[in-house]
Structure 1
Amino acid sequence: MTGQDAAGPARNTVAEGRGAWGRVLRAGVTVVVLGAVGFALWSALREDGPRVLDLFGRPGAAPLLLAACAANIAGLVLGMASWRALLADRIGPAAGARIFFLGQLSKYVPGRVWGVLTHVGLGRRLGVPASRMVGAYVVSLGVTTLTGAAVGLLVGPAVLGRHAFWLLGPAALVVACVVRPGILHGALVRAARLLRREEPAPAPGTRKALVVATVSWLVSGLHLWALLLLCGADPVAGLPVGVGAFALATVAGSLALILPDGWGVRELVLMAALATVVPWSVAGVVAVASRLVCVLCEVLTSLTALGWARLANT
């Protein structure tokens, strides 16, 4: 065997070793994060948790819970509209709902590849090229992350107080991207080059997608405000914190790629933000209730989208 022939198996062995260590590291980080979340929830709920949970069973709780679900569903529908704008509405509403909401469910599996595969596979059936679907998916991630982080700045005044003026800089960046969508596309292209991935194609509807995505975050965050009201939070102080905390926590969870739908990370960020307007025990209950509302609404919208697409024969 020549030296060149022997190098191949050696490289494969090293690659397999690195892959094994990577899997062990990801598993270890997952256990640590989930353990931290479990401890945080336990510390929050061990004393006042049962008392706070009783609030969800009181007679006046039903309207607020229904309002929370309605706000979350409306936010999801607006999110779909933002994504369709990046495809210049080449896909009809029924087919778009089917692709978008099935892709949403894929986030419960670690990694981004499943969402991309869902979009590409279903888009191909409608005659949309894979490159176009991948490009819209990547740009949509950038749009939702940027706008979610911007809406998350609403938490800033409660946390930073008189130093909240520092948040004007990030807010100006979002405004700049709306005025000049090429800024966002350029950033995504540079990120793709850095990660050695295919560069996303320019999306003609980026400006519309940014605006609609921002509205989507504002609307969907109202579900957290409704839950805060149910638990007795001050309506005025709770509104910006609830809306901003949901956007900030969801973005933070989406960046934790090793955890399905950011389980754990989202709850920790939510609790830390909500603790500025409610006690720690109430923040823990609201974080758990928010997760349950979001999962329920995502399942309901996905089932509705499938039924709509079947009736429309798409």
Structure 2
Amino acid sequence: MSSPEEPQTPPQENARARSRKTLVINIFRWILIALVIAATVWQLVVNWDQVTRTVTAMQPLRVLVAFVAVLAGLWTSTLSWMVLVDELGVPIGARRGGEVFLVGALGKYLPGSIWAYVLQIELGHRSGLARARVFTASVFNLAVILVAALLAASLSVPILVADNPELSWLPWLYVVLPFALVALHPKILTAITNFGFRILRRPLPDHPIRLRTVAKSLGFALLTYIFYGVQLWMLADTWQGLTLSPLLLCIGTMALAMVVGLVAFLLPSGIGAREFIIVTALAPVVGVGAATAYAAVSRLMFILGDMVAAGTSALVAAWARRKLGAYHGDPGLGP
């Protein structure tokens, strides 16, 4: 005796369910973006009074060069992420990829840095990238920026420990460096990628992850910390006449500050933790008051830089969609 057939859901109901799901996702996405923008503006407000006096006393040319260095660092950090995204499928291009990374990165201003990754995944999906691809590239990029930060921070750790015995714990951060380097081996990255894509039922990339891609991503990440160090150097090195030693200290300090800010993931963009490292590094040279002001100015520049970079990338991406059409690198994506 045959069993009764399972009742089938009418196509109209399936379509309505998909439509409701899409609406919920879109509402959530825009609410999240609105919260991110509000949090970013709030950071500007709370820092404004503290930094205005210091900014007016600085040389305008140095302030301008420092801000350009921030923008350059944001762009190289985008390229560090994007070469990994492109390695996992059809390249999306800098004009579209920049929007995904830079607009999504504004999520770091919400408590819990996970929001940056959530936004990047959703913006990538809207742009035609599989969520699995964006997530995988972001995880790999996290390992890349950690290795790059530890390598760059080695320029300042000995100085910081010598000047501040309470920071004698800093060298222990390098316990993770060998593990992070091993995790960046192309065979390990390829195995992780294939496993994750199979679990998520996504087509596997048509080639293994290549060493040159990892090296390129790491190179862009190192350039990012160099640019960030130049930013702090331009602000704070008014007593040395732009000599090399303070530059190396500033590069290492900014790299270390970014690592500490990354660890303090519950704080919006690592606020407080990052400034602590900068003040600690600069206080023996310029005094606590000036070091605190420079840290605040640096934070303000990063907030402005994030907003300018995100806005510019969104406009460029909109232009690319009109001129080049939609991206179809990852077929079979649902809403």
State TM-score, norm by structure 2: 0.65
Pair 147,82 (structure 1): closer, same or farther in 2 beyond 3 Å: same
Distance change in 2, residues 1:230/1:298 (3 Å): farther
* Higher mean C-alpha displacement, 295-304 vs 106-115: 106-115
After superposition, give the CA deviation of every residue in 1:203-244 in whole Å (9 maximum; x if it has no partner): 543222112111111122210000012476763332111111
Looking at structure 1, the residues matched to 314 and 184 of structure 2 have their Cα atoms a distance apart, in angstroms, of 36
User: Number of matched residues?
Assistant: 255
2:141 is aligned with what amino acid?
S
Q: Which residue of 2 aligns with 1:73?
A: 71
**1:97 maps onto 2:116 in alignment:** no
| Shift in CA distance, 180/247, structure 1 to aligned 2, threshold 3 Å | closer
Residue-by-residue CA offset, 1:72-124 (whole Å, 9 max, x unaligned): 10011000010011123621111111001011101011224322222222222
From 234, 240, 248, give the equivalent of 1:226. 234
Confirm or deny that 1:248 pairs with 2:252: no
2:154 aligns to what SS in structure 1?
helix
Query: Does the Cα contact within 8 Å between 1:136 and 1:203 map onto a contact in 2?
Result: no
Deviation at 1:160, TM superposition (A): 4.2
Deviations 1:23-66 (A, max 9, x none): xxxxxxxxxxxxxxx9xx9xxxxxxx99xx766324x7100000
Question: What secondary structure does 1:110 align onto?
Answer: coil
Partner of 2:86: 88
Q: Partner of 2:286: helix, strand, or coil?
A: coil
**Alpha-carbon distance in 2 for matches of 1:178, 1:77:** 26
- The corresponding residue for 2:128 is 127
SS of the aligned residue for 2:235 comes to helix
Specify every segment of 5 or more residues in structure 1 that has no aligned partner in the other structure, as ranges: 1-37, 42-48, 193-197
Q: Percent identity?
A: 28
Say whether the 8 Å CA contact 1:64–1:230 is kept in structure 2: no
* Distance apart, 1:132 and its partner CA: 1.2
Cα distance in 1 between the residues matched to 2:175 and 2:61: 34
Q: CA 1:183–1:293 in structure 2 vs 1: closer, same or farther (change >3 Å)?
A: farther
Mapped contact 2:102–2:313 kept (Cα < 8 A): yes
8 Å contact 2:81–2:141 — kept in the other structure? Answer: yes
- Cα 1:129–1:148 change in 2 (3 A) is same
Letter in 1 for 2:133: R
What SS does the corresponding residue of 2:86 show, helix, strand or coil?
A: coil
Distance 2:279 2:241 in 1: 14
* 1:181 is aligned to 2:185: yes
1:282 to 267, 277, 290: 290
Whether the 8 Å contact between 2:230 and 2:250 is mirrored in structure 1 is: yes
SS of residue paired to 1:128:
coil
Q: In the alignment, which residue of structure 2 is the partner of 1:303?
A: 311
Determine whether 1:208 maps to 2:206.
Answer: no
**Is the alpha carbon distance of 1:273 and 1:185 closer, same or farther for their aligned partners in structure 2, counting shifts above 3 Å?**
farther
SS at structure 2 position matched to 1:246:
helix
* Distance change (3 Å), C-alpha of 1:177 and 1:294: same
Query: Aligned runs of 1:36-47 on 2, under 5 Å?
Result: none
SS class of match (1:87):
helix
Distance change (3 Å), C-alpha of 1:282 and 1:98: same
Q: Give distance in 1, aligned partners of 2:239 and 2:53.
A: 10
The answer (yes or no) to whether the contact 2:149–2:256 under 8 Å persists in 1 is yes
Separation in structure 2 between the aligned mates of residue 178 and residue 212 of structure 1, nearest angstrom = 19
3-state SS in 2 of match to 1:252 = helix
Q: How does 1:10-21 map to 2 (within 5 A)?
A: none
Residue 225 of structure 2 is aligned to residue 217 of structure 1:
yes
Partner of 2:142: 141
Q: In the alignment, is residue 116 of structure 1 matched against residue 117 of structure 2?
A: yes
Question: Which SS does the other structure have where 2:237 is aligned?
Answer: helix
- The gaps in structure 2 that reach 5 residues or longer are 1-45, 327-335
Provide the C-alpha distance between the structure 1 equivalents of 2:309 and 2:215, rounded to a whole number of angstroms.
Answer: 26
TM-score using structure 1 length: 0.69
Aligned-partner residue type, residue 227 of structure 1: L
- 1-structure distance, mates of 2:311, 2:61: 23
Structure 1 residues 231 and 66, CA gap change in structure 2 (3 angstroms): farther
Residues 240 and 220 (structure 1 numbering): CA distance in 2 closer, same or farther, change over 3 Å? Answer: same
- 1:265-276 mapped onto 2 (5 Å cutoff): 265-276=273-284
1:260 equivalent to 2:268? Answer yes
